[in-house]
Amino acid sequence: MKNNSLLSVFVAIFLSLSLLAPAIGVQAQDDEPANEALLTLIDGMTPEERVGQLFLVSFDGASVDDESQIAALLADYPVGGVMLRADRGNFALPDPNALQQLVIDLQRKNWEAARVERLDPVSGEPFQPEYLPLWVGLSLDEATGSAENALSGLSVLPSPMAIGATWQPDLAANVGESLGSELAALGINLYLGPALDVVSDPMPASSGDMGVSAFGGNPYWVSQMGTAFIRGLRSGSDGKLLLVATHFPGRGSADRAPNEELATVRKPLAELQNADLTPFAAAVNSMDGIDGLLVSHIRYEGFQGTIRPTTRPLSLDEKSLSDLLTNAPFADWRANGGLLVSDDLGTPAIRSFYSPGNENFYATLIARDAFLAGNDLLYMGNIISSDAPDNYTSVRRTLDFFAQKYREDSAFAARVDAALLRILAKKEALYPNFSLYAATHPQGFDEIGTHAQAVFDVAQRSATLINPSLNDLDALLPNPPGVKEQIFFLTDVQPASQCPLCGSIFGLQRNSLRDAVLRLYGLGGAQEVREGNLSTYTFDDLPSLYIESDEFGMLDSLQAAEWVVISLGGNQQIDALRQFLNDFQPLLREKKVILYTFTTPYLLDATDISKFTAYYAIYSYAPPFLDVAARLLFKELTPEGASPVDISGSGYELDTVLQPDPDQYLTLGLALPLEPPPTPAADSATLAPTMIPMFSVGDTLSVRTGTIYDYNGNPVPDGTLATFTLTMSGESGINQRIEAQTVSGVAQADFQLSEIGLLDIRVSSGNATVSETLRLDISDDGIAAAITIIPPALLPQSTSTPTIEMTPTPTSIPSAYVQDGKIRFGAWGVSLLLWLLGSLLAYMAGERIESRRWGVRWALTTLLGGLIAYNYLALNLPGATIVTADGLSGVIIAIVFAEILGWLAGWLWLRGALE
């Protein structure tokens, strides 16, 4: 039977207290009773069962047979979950079926272990363990080496930066939905991602540079993309994934890669709150909020002012982590069951921090420190104690240590139970009643590998032209490569192996781009190129250019080529690229040199960029992105993306391009309720007329802008300032200015109507100063007035306001002859017939009344009158819309009337001139 000693009662009391103790990290909701069923479940668990749920372990190989270490561990310890890793050989499997079976085998082994009666190590009494489904999780960075590579048989993924370059959150949601559905179909129920880091200051020369693994460099847009991706993951998995965002509180500014050596971020807490923490705050605060946060092993300099200049690794620093979590919205999220997951405790960085000489390194102490810092789940990774032969032994000793400490330290036990309550609440949300069937019967397997369209959409919308501008591109490259022209491909090969035992799988191969060109434009495609005219080389072949006996014929190919197409896959070959450009600059000047960067766009400086005819950022070398690069080369696609990070070499700065575009026309409207009006009864004979808002003195006038766009054509980030200006022509001549911040690109302001007179409201935002005027004439007779919105073209020009040339926008009123940019041939044809008919009638009348010469004169003046009317209406000059309001009949009346006036004026003038 279960342990029913006084100790368990004592622990239960501490558990209840822990639900109210901020130090332990759990706060009971005033309006929600504690989950009594889970508390009862916990009360019946042994210390070994309780502490086991805190651990995420890993194992070697791709088998869960009875002789495997993971089977032995599950048989003896009810651990919380298992993380699948490439470096442990977990993906050495032939196809997704085998991976799904591995996940199911893990869940079954866990269930079988719970069916075996055990002896309590203290009392010696037998008991039946509780069955709790495993977390089976992965991180794509660990599984594939990079976030955009796919496991064997699964759909490829775009890199996060490629998603960010689309500036379309819906596309991020589509990719998240694709990934979520495939992970859930495999039985994966824990995903460490997405990464919500903000790369505000790219550091291409630093090992800490995140590459294309971040959505971008602006906190608002990283928030938008990250929350959309999370929404997609939630939807695609049908809520069957525990989602843990990485790498809290952000390592976008880390000075080095944190896996080999502890990285440092030099930012005070206030700066973190305004930038790095913003996406995490959005993730925990969104409707599809994140379940957990992966706490990174990063130290922060200046985090707590001058008291402690540099923190311990945040994952091990209780004080610093607590300081972060007491801020909104993290405090409420944590109180409502949000999980904290430690980053991999087995990294070399943690080992060197605890044991610089590689001695006296104990997994028990590291796990204890991480838990006491506030982490609920402890990701053990490949941790190996200095006194243990392997990871398996180290984990077993750590589990024993935690169970013993649970029995000896009541405060520690209370912490364990508080963390356990949060963990079990998340498991119950995925598996109600902890069903084995649900854990071993994932759904949707047929959809695995079928989400190519979502990836291609991102590839097409993210492709970015860095240099030259789009307007100059056609002048420099008026035509794609001709069928007789030769193309020299130079590729920076990038390997991407999903596990050490799977062999080399190259993400970017020597022939990758050439093959995409041949598939689309060779004999099997559009037949615009010949295979014999395409030569392919890698950066490793570059030394042969300097050897007289060039066995590869590389120099001959380079000299014969009209096009040189370079594919850059990483930052390792930057020096080799620069040397190539410098040494062969005279030869390359005669050619069209195209650079595709399939990695980050900020690796080159201005001098480097100036040596290319065109420079594109593609952000990923997954097959759909290679196809897009080929289509760009042959001018089949126009690049639509924009870099989500700064590019110093081209002068591209997010702080500038995310400001309001000065060439836009700001619109204004009333901030009316957005709810639709009540639906009329089905038997209503007529609809109620639309109510026009009326205003008088004493009312509040709420005004909002239309969407304000940045230089990239996207809504400006939240918090962008818009200035509303109110002027009145009354006695006081009131002039008010209200500054408001945008939300989803829209700003709103409220004005109190306190005087009679003519009231005008305009708006500006940054350098965008051309706006509509919202006009209200409040009379002194007490009659309420309606709002009039006046376009800027109809307002009198002020000498104090600079004239801004505006491009015609879709909001302009169409003319009688042009609508939506197309000629209205009906109106034009009628006008032509009226000219001919009117001129013919005038000629016949003149010839009969006067003479043939007068007939010609009358015909010409009549035609002239018709032409004047036509041009007046076609140019949409003032008053034209009144004439054309009745459609074609108005046009006919106007032209006939003008022709009569033209005949009469011409007759009188000519008669007077001749006499």
DSSP-assigned states of every residue in 645-659: S-BGGGTB-HHHHTS
Residue 765: strand, helix, or coil: strand
What is the reported pLDDT for 97? 92
Written as six digits, the tokens of 495 are 């390997």
What mean pLDDT is predicted for residues 672-681?
A: 52
User: 724 - beta bridge partners?
Assistant: 738, 763
- Phi first, then psi, for residue 12 (nearest 5°) are -60, -40
CA angle 397, 401, 403 (to 5 degrees): 120
Answer yes or no: is pLDDT of 420 > 80: yes
Q: Which of 266, 230, 227 is nearest to 250 (CA)?
A: 266
What is the reported pLDDT for 27? 37
What is the reported pLDDT for 361? 92
Q: Is the dihedral of CA 519, 524, 528, 534 positive or negative?
A: positive
Answer yes or no: is pLDDT of 146 > 60: no
What is the reported pLDDT for 5? 43
CA angle 28, 34, 36 (to 5 degrees): 160
Distance CA 328, CA 341 (A): 19
Distance CA 3, CA 271 (A): 50
User: 3 - beta bridge partners?
Assistant: none
Answer yes or no: is pLDDT of 221 > 90: yes
Which residues are within 8 A (CB) of 351 and not within 5 positions of it... i.e. 6 or more apart?
358, 361
User: What proportion of the chain, given as a percentage, has pLDDT over 90?
Assistant: 56
- Residue owning tokens 């010696």: 124
Distance of CA 313 to the CA centre of its chain: 28
Distance CA 198, CA 282 (A): 13
Answer yes or no: is pLDDT of 806 > 50: no
Least confident of 91-105, 123-137, 824-838: 824-838
Q: Are 516 and 627 in contact (CB under 8 A)?
A: yes
Answer yes or no: is pLDDT of 821 > 70: no
Answer yes or no: is pLDDT of 820 > 60: no
Which residues are within 8 A (CB) of 807 and not within 5 positions of it... i.e. 6 or more apart?
663
What is the reported pLDDT for 872? 64
Determine how β-strand 700-705 pairs with β-strand 748-752. Answer: antiparallel
Answer yes or no: is pLDDT of 161 > 70: yes
What is the reported pLDDT for 804? 33
Residue 603: strand, helix, or coil: coil
The HSE-up count of residue 172 (CA atoms within 13 Å, CB side) is: 26
Least confident of 61-70, 164-173, 220-229: 61-70
**297 cis-preceded (ω within 30 degrees of 0):** no
User: What proportion of the chain, given as a percentage, has pLDDT over 70?
Assistant: 80
What is the reported pLDDT for 224? 97
- DSSP letter, residue 689: P
pLDDT band at 732 (very low <50, low <70, confident <90, very high): low
User: 818 - beta bridge partners?
Assistant: 823
Which residues are within 8 A (CB) of 632 and not within 5 positions of it... i.e. 6 or more apart?
463, 616, 639
What is the reported pLDDT for 433? 84
Q: Which of 354, 395, 27, 339 is nearest to 190 (CA)?
A: 339
What mean pLDDT is predicted for residues 723-735?
A: 77
Least confident of 150-164, 371-385, 404-418: 150-164
Q: Are 38 and 421 in contact (CB under 8 A)?
A: yes
Residue 830 CB neighbour total at 10 angstroms:
16
What is the reported pLDDT for 431? 92
pLDDT band at 808 (very low <50, low <70, confident <90, very high): very low
Distance of CA 385 to the CA centre of its chain: 40
Counting every residue written for the chain, the total comes to: 915
What is the reported pLDDT for 303? 66
By the 10 Å C-beta count (0-12 exposed, 13-18 middle, 19+ buried), 25 is classed as buried
Q: Are 616 and 583 in contact (CB under 8 A)?
A: no
What is the reported pLDDT for 875? 61
Instruction: Name the strand (E) or helix (H) holding 415.
Output: helix 410-430
Residue 309 CB neighbour total at 10 angstroms:
11
Written as six digits, the tokens of 877 are 């000059």
User: 526 - beta bridge partners?
Assistant: none
- Among 198-207, 405-414, 544-553, 731-740, the range with the most confident prediction by mean pLDDT is 405-414
What mean pLDDT is predicted for residues 295-309?
A: 72
Q: Are 498 and 149 in contact (CB under 8 A)?
A: yes
Letter for the amino acid at 139?
Answer: S
Residue 563: strand, helix, or coil: strand
Q: Are 60 and 84 in contact (CB under 8 A)?
A: no
Which residues are within 8 A (CB) of 357 and not within 5 positions of it... i.e. 6 or more apart?
none
Determine how β-strand 668-670 pairs with β-strand 773-778. Answer: unpaired
Q: Are 724 and 740 in contact (CB under 8 A)?
A: yes
Least confident of 28-32, 104-108, 461-465, 578-582: 28-32
Distance CA 413, CA 8 (A): 10
What is the reported pLDDT for 302? 72
Task: Look at phi and psi of residue 89 and say left if phi exceeds 0, alpha if psi is from -120 to 50, else beta.
Answer: left
pLDDT band at 368 (very low <50, low <70, confident <90, very high): very high
Answer yes or no: is pLDDT of 264 > 70: yes
What is the reported pLDDT for 93? 83
What is the reported pLDDT for 121? 78
Concatenated DSSP letters of 122-147: TT--EEPPPP-PPEEEE-HHHHHSST
What is the reported pLDDT for 798? 41
- DSSP letter, residue 169: H
- pLDDT of 25-53, one tens digit each? 333 343 344 478 899 999 999 999 999 99
Q: Strand runs (DSSP E) across 374-517, as ranges?
A: 378-379, 464-467, 487-491, 494-495, 506-508
What is the reported pLDDT for 882? 52
What is the reported pLDDT for 687? 45
- pLDDT of 315-352, one tens digit each? 999 998 998 899 889 999 999 999 999 999 999 999 98
What is the reported pLDDT for 143? 47
Q: Which of 16, 36, 37 is nearest to 27 (CA)?
A: 16
Q: Which of 102, 87, 113, 63 is nearest to 187 (CA)?
A: 102
Q: Are 197 and 206 in contact (CB under 8 A)?
A: no
Q: Are 661 and 711 in contact (CB under 8 A)?
A: yes
Written as six digits, the tokens of 734 are 């009131």
Which residues are within 8 A (CB) of 36 and not within 5 positions of it... i.e. 6 or more apart?
none
What is the reported pLDDT for 492? 94
What is the reported pLDDT for 16? 40
Between 102 and 670, name the one with better pLDDT: 102
Q: Strand runs (DSSP E) across 509-656, as ranges?
A: 534-538, 563-568, 592-597, 614-617
pTM higher than 0.85, yes or no?
A: no
Distance CA 148, CA 688 (A): 55
What is the reported pLDDT for 307? 44
pLDDT band at 422 (very low <50, low <70, confident <90, very high): very high
Answer yes or no: is pLDDT of 147 > 90: no
Written as six digits, the tokens of 84 are 């699948």
Distance CA 494, CA 540 (A): 12
pLDDT band at 828 (very low <50, low <70, confident <90, very high): low
Between 840 and 279, name the one with better pLDDT: 279
- Alpha carbon distances (Å) from 296 to 151, 312, 335: 25, 11, 21
pLDDT band at 903 (very low <50, low <70, confident <90, very high): low
What is the reported pLDDT for 20? 35
What is the reported pLDDT for 21? 37
Answer yes or no: is pLDDT of 582 > 80: yes
Least confident of 105-119, 307-321, 655-669: 307-321
Distance CA 508, CA 691 (A): 62
- DSSP letter, residue 409: -
pLDDT band at 223 (very low <50, low <70, confident <90, very high): very high
- Phi first, then psi, for residue 199 (nearest 5°) are -95, 75
Residue 214: strand, helix, or coil: coil
- pLDDT of 775-799, one tens digit each? 888 776 656 677 888 888 755 544 3
What is the reported pLDDT for 884? 52
Determine how β-strand 614-617 pairs with β-strand 464-467. Answer: antiparallel
Residue 862 CB neighbour total at 10 angstroms:
30
Answer yes or no: is pLDDT of 914 > 60: no
Answer yes or no: is pLDDT of 504 > 80: no
Task: Look at phi and psi of residue 796 and say left if phi exceeds 0, alpha if psi is from -120 to 50, else beta.
Answer: beta
Q: Are 508 and 494 in contact (CB under 8 A)?
A: yes
- DSSP letter, residue 513: H
> Mean pLDDT for the chain?
83
CA angle 129, 133, 136 (to 5 degrees): 135
Answer yes or no: is pLDDT of 591 > 60: yes
Distance CA 566, CA 186 (A): 38
What is the reported pLDDT for 825? 54
pLDDT band at 898 (very low <50, low <70, confident <90, very high): low
